[in-house]
Amino acid sequence: MDLVNLAELFLSIQGEGSRAGLPCVFIRLSGCNLDCSYCDSQYAARGEGERKKISVITGRVGRFGVKLVQLTGGEPLIQPGAGPLLRMLCDQGYEALVETNGSVDLKPFDPRAKYIVDIKTPGSGAGESFLESNYENLRDCDEVKFVVTSKDDFDWAVALTKQRGLDKRHTLLFSPAWGLVKPEDMAQWLIDSGVEGRLSLQIHKLIWGPDATGV
């Protein structure tokens, strides 16, 4: 439980969500339980990574001198060591973010962290993966993200948002799947929908390109 499989650890700019543009330390864990059509981190999702003690990881994080830290993957929460790692980060005073696909029960994990939950659309190829109980596990401070591959995906996400009232409780993010949806199209869809959501572009890809790792 004091070990995780680490794909990479680096300091960069937060590329998505409500903290986009801020310096952030990324802890990317290996492995994923889904196989999304647009996955941009196959090297992590399908790789084994390097086995590391969580104390070594938090030590490396500390050397960056940045308090915003994101645990990501792959799907980070499938690793048994993810919970202890997250707890240690919170104990050490970091603002901890977790990017997760919502297929893993969030209830056992540290409530001091903020969860960015990517509800998979039908176009992802994993549209039935979200764990129903996680709708209740989400707090007001957590964020909900939809990666949209088409107008049909967007309409599906809007319908779910209205059914569940997601935009009334959470910061709601709509992200165009890279190379599949034009940002200007997504912007207009969002304007026309009347949903209180936010257009979320992957600014790290705009800065360094879509194939760069460690950024």
pTM of the model: 0.93
Query: Which residue has tokens 């981190």?
Result: 41
Share of the chain above pLDDT 70, in %: 100
Q: Is the pLDDT of residue 13 over 90?
A: yes
Respond yes or no on whether the N-terminal peptide bond of residue 62 is cis (omega within 30° of 0): no
CATH dotted code for 3-208:
3.20.20.70
**39 contacts: CB under 8 Å, gap ≥ 6:** 32, 45
**Confidence tier at 140 by pLDDT (50, 70, 90):** very high
Listed by start position, the domains of the chain span: 3-208
Query: Which residue has tokens 């960069």?
Result: 12
With left for phi above 0 and alpha for psi between -120 and 50, is residue 47 left, alpha or beta? beta
Q: Is the pLDDT of residue 213 over 80?
A: no
Share of the chain above pLDDT 90, in %: 82
**Mean pLDDT across the stretch 113-133?**
95
